[in-house]
Structure 1
């Protein structure tokens, strides 16, 4: 247990440091160094295509590896040839995916305007190479997780990769690289991570590349492929949800619009960081409740997590929404501020996603876990259809509205499913009181006039929001967790 605890502490520190670096990069650094069209090309086309290609090629084997490795562990010096079995089918799949991506290039270019297609065409091959690097990195990361060696992989993917990407952008902005050189350096950063993971496996004595027939006797390949197919369908729907809006903005408007929309998406992502931190604990905890059959504890956790998410989510959403002028002012490029309305709509959708609590995790870990796939596929389909309808009519706001409507709809359906099937729902009078307090605090901060100084306006609005919101929560006794913290601070 000691190694798990140590790795967990390191991973937590690395994750938060990586999130801070990533937020600073995507909000403060890259928009200053790259044009909207260049950001749209890299993060709105090449990276999403590569991510989807990597997932299809891997065929869910990263998750299958973590699921089945305990059967292979310590079966001989090389774990019965597990690592070659983990890599084999995905490498074959990558050859097929790479061929399809190459053959599909003319069709993809037809979706873009002439100028955008001319920008994309010379760099399209980078998406294929990037897909291979992402796939190899994810498979090795899964293998290292199974071995309980996670810190180095987390460091490479969360910190080192982001620093290398910023370094490439700085080199381009200073004239040391052409834009094509920047694209190659961007791809090369993912390749460096994959190579470093190979070196690390060799250093810890776990780089076993010789295949064995014993691997197929321990667990049949057909069973692993079947599990991988299920995981692939579930994962690909999540990838579509995260990437399809920027892809469709690029095809229906322009790559520059996709770049602006991506910055808006990154701004709104700050809202979900505390939700993600909670969900990491929630998954294993809820799975344990299912194992024990303790529905009372699960229902209590469902209510408490929803209350905490509502409390933090409302405060963060108001803090971001009220200070968008300040946030976009940090970028020093007025063209990105076109995405302000999109940010507000994305915040609304993600806030509702957090408020509805851990319904998705409850479904995914329940005996009816296959319904989670139905919900994910429905969500991905809804996002595609709504984007198709709304982007031509409302541009960037249409993409954000499509995302918002899809999240609200699917979470409403999930919440109803959990309530109907298991008799649990997370809402009570405290949630309504938190929303009322948030409304009053938001109106109080919004009513303050502009001071003419962005920093002073930020401090005034943030201070009023914090005081009114905190006082309202304490006076209405809506959050026992906050009352306990306040009591502890007063005693000190």
Structure 2
């Protein structure tokens, strides 16, 4: 796990810096300068563009990670792999663009309340989608090269700084709202172009086509896997984005803005898993290539345990201090998403505890079996949102997300165990969850002080002290104990 720990640590540091910047954007910058419906429009455009990009990409981001080990040969330009990785999705983008533009009247019919506003920026969704797609493809290529830190920096830090700058300029009157939207799209486009420059700097921008690419692996196998990966990945994209789109269409863009803030707050607990997954995906592909199933099983258990420790702590830290977090936003309308945050935290925690099942399935020889799970999940997610949002509002979207996450993770965990006799849940996982419950209740029992800031400090201190002490005393997470031991040993030197 050496390379995983090194790259994972770098990505974790970058991700948490990005989280801090994102929190500043969300708590101080964006709510001060944008109204709820403006927040809703921005999040809706991004959600549409993300689904658009996923369809256009034809599953080739996953292709780039699964098949790159077979093409890896720097001296030979990786056998022309990059032109293939970019070329096929660009053809897909052209096709999807025709369908998207032709379907404009149908899409606008879902937005009766804010139809004119959506219509004004409909065409810009295509521009945004193009660069979202290019970023994801280049990011997949960099994962295969084990160069993940720079793409994390660009997405987690630079992008947030640029977006904050755009919001400040809008708030100070240098931009109109139209100018802000264009600047927002420009920042997303800019990071994709920056990855291209980075590939050139490290000498990996091999854009000359090479016929050898057709000889390393049959093109039919690559396209077949891409098709299945598209159908498999589209459910994850639907889960992450359809709720914002459907909240906006079934309620209004202001409600979508409130939900987008709640959704962002809950993403904090996903950062450790996201950081590990960046390097875990190509590593799992190598494990399958080498048929190193015992090493994969150990990696599966270790990363799940680590994700559980960090996920429980972060979920409790956020849930216990929501009043303080929303108080920083100085926008009372956004506090309507408080309950939704708690439900979303539960969903994301369950996702982390069940481990790397999705990556194991999608990189395995039986990746096709994941297709049924994902198609069913995508349809269920849309159905649950359609039923729950009109009846429960924002909370309905959060509950739909929770149910979808629980269902797919139970199905995938069972599938991995049934097919390969690997599962990540041990007695230590139950112990960690029990410790989290004890520490969480103790912190919750801390009485509120007149100062919300003081309440947050005391609750966080109680939670941190009790949780970390119990984790160390019970030795429920050997990785944490070992890391602390190394830190203390260095201090003694």
TM-score by length of 1: 0.86
Note closer, same or farther for the CA distance 1:483–1:217 as it changes in structure 2 (3 Å cut): closer
Contact 2:131 2:189 in 1 (8 A): yes
Return the offset for 1:464: 1.7
Which residue number corresponds to residue 111 of structure 2? Answer: 112
1:61 corresponding residue in structure 2: 60
- Give 1:78-477 correspondences, 5 Å limit: 83-114=82-113, 116-142=114-140, 153-199=151-197, 221-283=219-281, 286=284, 290=288, 297-477=295-475
Q: Tell me, in whole angstroms, the C-alpha distance in 2 between the residues paired with 1:39 and 1:214.
A: 48
Structure with greater Cα Rg: 1
C-alpha deviation, 1:357, in angstroms: 2.5
Once the two structures are TM-superposed, the CA of residue 323 in structure 1 deviates from its matched residue by: 0.4
Deviations 1:228-259 (A, max 9, x none): 21222222222111101111111111111111
Cα shift readout 1:277-313 (whole Å, capped 9, x = no counterpart): 3334544555565556565554444444333333222
1:114-134 Cα offsets, whole Å, 9 max, x none, are 3x1122111111101111222
Q: CA deviation at 1:162?
A: 2.5
- Once the two structures are overlaid, the 10-residue window that deviates more, 28-37 or 74-83, is 74-83
Shift of 1:409: 2.1
* Secondary structure of the structure 2 residue equivalent to 1:461: helix
Separation in 2, partners of 1:147, 1:311: 29
Q: In 1, distance between residues paired with 2:471 and 2:206?
A: 56
More displaced stretch, 215-224 vs 243-252: 215-224
- Separation of aligned partners in 2, 1:146 and 1:179: 39
- How many pairs were matched up? 489
**What SS does the corresponding residue of 1:331 show, helix, strand or coil?**
coil
CA contact (8 A) 1:268 1:347 kept: yes
CA distance in 1, matches of 2:246, 2:419: 36
Match of 1:33?
Answer: 33
Q: Distance in 1 between matches of 2:115 and 2:22?
A: 28
- Does the C-alpha gap of structure 1 residues 259 and 290 become closer, same or farther in structure 2, counting only changes over 3 Å? same
Give the whole-Å Cα distance in 1 for the aligned partners of 2:294 and 2:146: 32
Contact 1:4–1:148, Cα closer than 8 Å, also in 2: no
Distance 1:162 1:86, change over 3 A: same
Matches of 1:362 and 1:66, distance apart in 2: 13
Greater shift, 282-291 or 361-370, is seen at 282-291
Q: Check the 8 A contact 1:27/1:267 in 2, yes or no.
A: no
Greater RCO (Cα-Cα under 8 Å, separation 6 or more): 2
Return 5+ residue gaps in structure 2 as ranges: none
- Structure 2 CA distance for aligned equivalents of residues 133 and 475 of structure 1: 49
Q: CA deviation at 1:326?
A: 0.6
> CA shift at 1:161, angstroms?
2.6
- TM-score in terms of structure 2 length: 0.86
Name the CA shift for 1:384/1:300 in 2 (closer, same or farther; >3 Å). same
Quick check: 1:18–1:159 contact (8 Å CA) kept in 2? yes
- 1:135: how far off? 2.6
Mean Cα deviation higher: 463-472 or 146-155: 146-155
1:73 CA drift (Å): 6.7
